[in-house]
Structures are given as structure tokens and as C-alpha cells.
Amino acid sequence: MSSQVRPMGVTILAILEIVSGAIAIAIGIFFSALWGSMGMDMMMDFGGSAVMGLISGIIVALGAVSFLMAWGLLKGKSWAWTITLILTIISLIFDLPSMNIIGLIIDIVILYYLFRPHVKAYFGKSTQVL
């Protein structure tokens, strides 16, 4: 990371990561608690119950990864720029067939923003063509 001031858009992306991480953790915990409190595990065999527990755990883990991504964005870590780029491209690929116009616009704006020279410089990405 360079000693540059963090671009405002990077701060906004990090805040969105924090919010999405908190929501994912809350959803994972909610479904896990709901599943257990309703006695759903009694209604399913062990395999189904294990799958639901695994899904809840994965959702919570993804929420924790969102917090890590937010930290990386705020600190200008090069890997955070790369992972954000990859996840945005994956999102774009999923939004195309469903014609999710709002999602497509958001993805395109994020991709455009990530390649702005001052944003690349903040993450230590060269703006020169090799």
C-alpha cells in the first residue's frame, strides 16, 4: 500500500462489505437457531440435519470473510483489490443471464472504479502497461 489517502469509493466498498458480512452472519445464526428451536432436526434424518448445519456454518464463514475483505480494502491490500475484482466479475456473469439490470449496473460501476488510476495506485497496482 502506498502512503496515499484512501479513496472515498474504497471506503464505501468496505462499508458495504461490513454490512453484507453482518447480514450473512445474522442470517446464518438465525437459520441455525430456527432449525434447532423448531425441532427440525427431529423431522429429518441425520444427513439432512447435517447439511442444514453445514449451510448455516458456510453462511457465517462467508460473513467473516466479508469482514476480512473490508479490512483489506481499508488497508489498501493488493489481494483485496484482486479478490474484489474476481468477485465482481463472477457477480457480473451471474447477473447477465438473469438480466438483473441493477446488479449489472453496480458491477460495471465497481469494475470501472477499480481500474481508476488513483484506486489502482492506492492498492499498489501499477498503472503502467508492462
Whole-number Å distance between alpha carbons of 81 and 99: 26
Where exactly are the structural domains of the chain?
7-74, 76-130
Q: What is the DSSP string of 55-96?
A: HHHHHHHHHHHHHHHHHHHHHT-HHHHHHHHHHHHHHHHHHH
pLDDT tens readout for residues 45-65: 555 667 777 888 899 999 999
State the amino acid at position 21 in one-letter form. G
DSSP 116: S
* Structure confidence at residue 1 as a pLDDT band (50, 70, 90): very low
**Would you say residue 2 has pLDDT above 60?**
no
Which run of H or E residues covers position 19? helix 8-37
Please give the pLDDT value at position 33.
80
Whole-number Å distance between alpha carbons of 64 and 57: 11
**Would you say residue 32 has pLDDT above 90?**
no
pLDDT tens readout for residues 72-123: 999 999 999 999 999 999 989 988 988 889 989 999 999 999 999 999 999 9
User: Which pTM does this prediction carry?
Assistant: 0.77
